[in-house]
Amino acid sequence: MRRVLLLAAVAALAGCSVTPPYRPPQLEVPASWKTEPGWQLAKPDDAAVRGAWWHSFGDAQLDALEAQALAANPNLDAAAARLAQARSQVDVQASGLFPQLSTSMRAARQEISANRPLTNYNAPNFQTVQNDFGLSFSVAYEADLWGRVHSTVDAARALAEQTAADFQNVRLVLTTDLAANYFNLRELDIELDVLAQSIALQRRALDLATARHQLGATSGLDVAQQQALLDQTLTQVDVLRRQRSQFETAIAALIGRPAPLFAVPAEITPRSAPAVPVAVPSEVLQRRPDVASAERAMAAANAQIGIARAAYYPSVFLNPTLGVDSRNLGMLFDVPSLLWSFGVSVTQPLIDAGRTDANVAIAQAGYQLAVANYRRTVLTAMQEVQDGINGSVALDRGLAQANLAEQSAQRVLDLANDRYEGGAASYLEVITAQQSLLTAQRQVAQLLGQRLLVSVLLVKAVGGEW
């Protein structure tokens, strides 16, 4: 018996794991991004303290909204709760590495039946009324010979790290979604301001056309054309206000406020997109929380293979017990009341109709699924960064060209008004010039909004704060 116990103890200390070594797959990662002329590759300082990236936009209203979202968003609160659960689950699984000590106490007065089954026909039973006092301590410990418990702890730890990365990803998505909705709303504020200026201009033009018609200088067609243009512009105002209200309610939901109680006042302030640092692809992949989450999922899936494989081998449990038992409370702690036991229980599956094989196959397929998800996440990350780089350059050029187009449209309108007032042109030229200027001004506003959105999406693509 001593030899058996000694061998079990040595095996428990030495242990061996049937979990395959975890090696993340090697993926093709380019050495640099494909950039267009005009793009300046920034170098992020990963050693610097990371702060709130939205401060780089220099918008106090956005800063306040982001602070409210981080404090009251229910999705972020749920992610924090899941993280707390996952970390506690690591402690639960890690407790299996150590012996579990428990105690039990009993105090009873009982009657023993005289008709109970006999253990010996020569020793008759008697009905007896007696006390029963007991106190015992027992230890339960699984000798982790095949690494099942360690694999369970590794899986729980990897899942906790994955949940931590998921929390950071929820935070990143929350802050970037809020910024995107906010800049969409501000872009509509600019468009509405452009429409307001155009409406004022068109009303003055309508008054002028009406006065000239009353003097008999023009026909009623000029008045009708100008009125039609004004009505069309007024219709666009209602459409943009509806779109603005949708972004406003979306912001309310993100910061944890009821939509009917929330409003963002209109504001027309010049804005520009900050430079977003973009490191080499390999560094970007290290910064993105969704990539980190996918990698930790692979580690957890790999540990599950070891847990499934351990079912092929015997489970060994040590269960020593020490206690006292007496019918007299005063003699409970006397030496004759002492009782103890020490033993080893071994469970070895013999026939399970292929259950263990199936569980191992499920675990291996789960690991392959995690690998595929990791590859997909990495490819998506590189796609988003490259799209952000390309979009930034293209929109910078487009915005510069749109500003030139707006200036040209303003000159055309000035010339058309002069020609109309001098009788050298029809009012149709003025109508066309007004519409062209309105289109050019709205295009500038839209491109500015898109440029800010691309910066936000690029922030999200490179992993957020820098």
* pLDDT (mean) for 417-438: 80
What's the pLDDT band for 419 if we cut at 50, 70, 90? confident
Q: Is pLDDT at 454 greater than 90 in this prediction? A: no
**Tens-digit pLDDT profile for residues 95-122:** 999 999 999 999 999 988 888 888 888 8
- What is 11-72+147-313+355-461's CATH topology? Outer membrane efflux proteins (OEP) (1.20.1600)
Identity (one letter) of the amino acid at 116?
A: R
**Helix, strand, or coil here: 132?**
strand
Number of residues written out for the chain: 466
Question: What whole-number distance in Å separates Cα of residue 271 and Cα of residue 41?
Answer: 22
60-64, 269-273, 406-410, range with the lowest pLDDT: 269-273
Residue that wins the pLDDT comparison between 218 and 359: 359
Residue appearing with tokens 């009406």:
210
**pLDDT at res. 159:** 94
Domain spans of the chain, in order of start? 11-72+147-313+355-461
**pLDDT at res. 343:** 86
Q: Which helix (H) or strand (E) holds 100?
A: strand 100-112
**pLDDT at res. 309:** 92
- Please choose, from the candidates 354, 320, 352, 22, the residue with its C-alpha nearest in 3D space to the C-alpha of residue 143: 320
**pLDDT at res. 151:** 92
**pLDDT at res. 35:** 59
* pLDDT (mean) for 46-67: 79
**Tens-digit pLDDT profile for residues 153-206:** 999 999 999 999 999 999 999 999 999 999 999 999 988 988 888 888 888 878
Q: Is pLDDT at 6 greater than 50 in this prediction? A: no
Share of the chain above pLDDT 70, in %: 89
What's the pLDDT band for 138 if we cut at 50, 70, 90? very high
**Tens-digit pLDDT profile for residues 380-395:** 888 888 888 888 778 8
Q: How far is CA 446 from CA 236, 402, 403, in A?
A: 14, 10, 12
**Helix, strand, or coil here: 303?**
helix
Q: SS in 3 state form for 415-464? A: HHHHHHHCCCCCHHHHHHHHHHHHHHHHHHHHHHHHHHHHHHHHHHHCCC
**pLDDT at res. 180:** 93
Question: What whole-number distance in Å separates Cα of residue 2 and Cα of residue 182?
Answer: 74
* pLDDT (mean) for 53-69: 92
List all residues 6 or more positions away from 222 whose beta carbon is below 8 Å from its beta carbon.
209, 212, 213, 426, 427
Count the Cβ atoms, other than its own, within 10 Å of residue 175: 26
Q: Is pLDDT at 52 greater than 70 in this prediction? A: yes
Question: What whole-number distance in Å separates Cα of residue 405 and Cα of residue 410?
Answer: 9
Q: Is pLDDT at 48 greater than 70 in this prediction? A: no
Report CA torsion sign: 281, 286, 291, 297.
positive
**Tens-digit pLDDT profile for residues 207-231:** 878 887 888 777 788 888 888 988 9
Mean pLDDT of the chain: 85
Residue appearing with tokens 């595929």:
372
Q: Which tokens is 370 given? A: 């995690």
Question: What whole-number distance in Å separates Cα of residue 459 and Cα of residue 51?
Answer: 13
Question: What whole-number distance in Å separates Cα of residue 184 and Cα of residue 243?
Answer: 9
Identity (one letter) of the amino acid at 52?
A: A
Q: Is pLDDT at 13 greater than 60 in this prediction? A: no
